[in-house]
Amino acid sequence: MTSSRVKRMEYLALPERSDTPDTVDSTCTIPGTLSVSWRDLTDAFLGDYRGATQRSYSDAFNRFVSYCGIDSLSMVSGMPDEDLVKAYRGSLLDTGHSPHTINAYLAAIRAFYRFLHNYVRKALRTGQITASRAGELQLLIEGVLSVRKVRTSNAPGKLPTTVDQSRDLLASIPSDSLTDLRDRAMIALIIGCGLRRIEIARILRQDLVNQGGQLLLRIQQKGHHAKDAYVVIWPDVERVIRPWLTESPYKDAESPLFPSLSKRDAGSSNGHPAGLALTPRSISRIVRKRLDAIGLKDHSTHSLRHAFATIALSSDDVELRDVQQALGHSQVTTTERYVHQNNRLQGLPEKAVNDAVFNGLEP
């Protein structure tokens, strides 16, 4: 670690270890004092996350700790500040990392400093840190949280699929085979409801629910352990997916809604045909093949999800927080990148996309 880094970290050093043993509050996993190693502090931070998010944040934050020259086994004696985070961001740019990768790394750092904010407040309440030192640390935390993300490219390949491209994509898929019907229905749900690949892969026939004449889809969102969210399927979207629901040979309640149609993946359940669910990777491959067929070679499955957000937010009748909820974003700032105008927003995003893309589209 350079001398300038050491100087900044020592200036805002945390209190030295006291003679009082570390304690653990019964309501949380954070040690009751600030006499803690970097490894324990990092583990407490990551304990708030699960699965892929935890792995992603762990990798990203450990990279930052390594850049700072911090030994994970050492006791916490100081905290990297805003200048050091900016220097790290610059080093990632210099080594050719993409803006999306850099912003993902910065997101992990911001998440840690938000965790640290609560950590310091708890230490202040329990008398383990002085108000003066807590104030210094809070100013440092605010500085780090103010570090801006790297601006992403506006190159055509980076943009979401548009209304016209979405309509062209759906119209380009014929109705000549079960594969065509399945692919068209699957793409219609991605565009019409903003679903992730993993959410598509998890859908079963029984997850389609008719409630008072309105078709709903029960989904398990990213990071969730149960199907605890519902998506509205509006009539024009339903009209596009209905041929597949009618013609699919897999009608058992527990059959995947979008199975592999390969003979080797076919089986049976309760006397009905049953296929293996398409994997997220297979879904990506299918969507890319359909996009390539109409010349959108730089677009992807995620481009269709972007299309849902961008098209919905272009309507005066849609509110930003509605789109945040529909996309399953934990932070509204993640959704804000899709906002391209300052309209007064309120309403339902699925309805806006239904009207913009699916209205008048041939089933």
Mean pLDDT per 10-residue section of the chain, whose length is 363 residues: 42 39 34 65 88 84 90 82 91 83 88 90 81 84 88 48 84 93 93 86 91 84 66 87 93 90 60 70 92 87 79 60 51 41 38 75 74
Q: Which of 85, 91, 351 is nearest to 232 (CA)?
A: 351
Contact 37, 74 (CB under 8 A): yes
Give the model's pLDDT for residue 229: 76
In this prediction, residue 85 carries a pLDDT of: 92
For the whole prediction, is pTM greater than 0.95? Answer: no
Task: Please report the sign of the dihedral spanned by the C-alpha atoms of residue 222, residue 228, residue 233, residue 234.
Answer: negative
* DSSP state at residue 340: -
| Residue recorded with tokens 């909820």 | 325
pLDDT of res. 154: 40
In this prediction, residue 347 carries a pLDDT of 29
State residue 37's pLDDT score.
Answer: 82
Structural domain boundaries of the chain? Answer: 3-145, 156-358
Backbone angles phi, psi at 218, to 5 degrees: -85, 130
Collapsed DSSP state (helix, strand, coil) of residue 108: helix
CB 231 within 8 A of CB 195: yes
**Predicted pLDDT of residue 282:** 92
Q: How far apart are CA 168 and CA 172, in angstroms?
A: 6
Q: How far apart are CA 138 and CA 334, in angstroms?
A: 24
d(CA 120, CA 100): 30
H-helix or E-strand spanning residue 330:
none
CA distance 214 to 71: 57
Diameter over CA atoms, the chain: 77
pLDDT of residue 203: 92
Q: How do 266-269 and 272-275 pair as beta strands?
A: antiparallel
- How much is the pLDDT for 205? 92
Closest by Cα among 175, 190, 173 to 291: 173
CATH topology of domain 156-358: hpI Integrase; Chain A (1.10.443)
Q: What's residue 223's pLDDT?
A: 59
